[in-house]
Amino acid sequence: MKKDALLYLIIGLLGGSLLTVIFSRYSFNSNMTGMMQMMGFRNNMMENEERFDGDERGMMNMGSSMDQMMQSMTGKTGDEFDRSFMEAMIVHHQGAIEIATQAKQNANHPEIMKMADDIISAQTGEINMMRDWQNQWGL
């Protein structure tokens, strides 16, 4: 009888551990998906085949990842590289501004709120600088 109880205990512990791992992994992935969606990224593997087309708003909806941003610049040089770099960075910075705006609205600690202000200020300045360069250089 003791062996049966011990066997059920072990099976229960292993099963519970497995379920904990599965649910915690799902929870983590859901949070990352939510964050990526908030930044304008989609989570569909077929959509990840898409590339930047030069339209900032379109890029926000392209299922882009950092790898794809890097790939969008691969093999490019000169003005073509500069254009791709600035387009990717503007999208990246806009995502950071959106996240920082959420932090300003929801954070509990003043350090986070201060960091969010700093991020918004710095990233907005850099977006404006890159847009000015795009206009000056005809990119």
CATH number at residue 127: 1.20.1260.10
Same domain, 26 and 72: no
Nearest-angstrom CA–CA distance, 39 and 91: 9
Domain of residue 21, residue span: 1-38
Same domain, 46 and 89: yes
Same domain, 69 and 101: yes
Question: Residue 87: what are its φ and ψ, rounded to 5°?
Answer: -60, -45
**pLDDT at residue 1, as a whole number:** 58
Same domain, 90 and 47: yes
**pLDDT at residue 50, as a whole number:** 42
Q: What is the pLDDT along the chain (139 residues), one digit of tens a residue?
A: 577 777 777 887 777 776 676 766 655 444 445 545 544 444 433 343 343 444 444 444 444 467 777 888 888 889 999 998 999 889 889 999 999 999 999 999 999 999 999 999 999 999 999 999 999 999 8
Question: Largest alpha-carbon pair distance within the chain?
Answer: 83
Same domain, 71 and 115: yes
pTM of the model: 0.53
Same domain, 46 and 69: yes
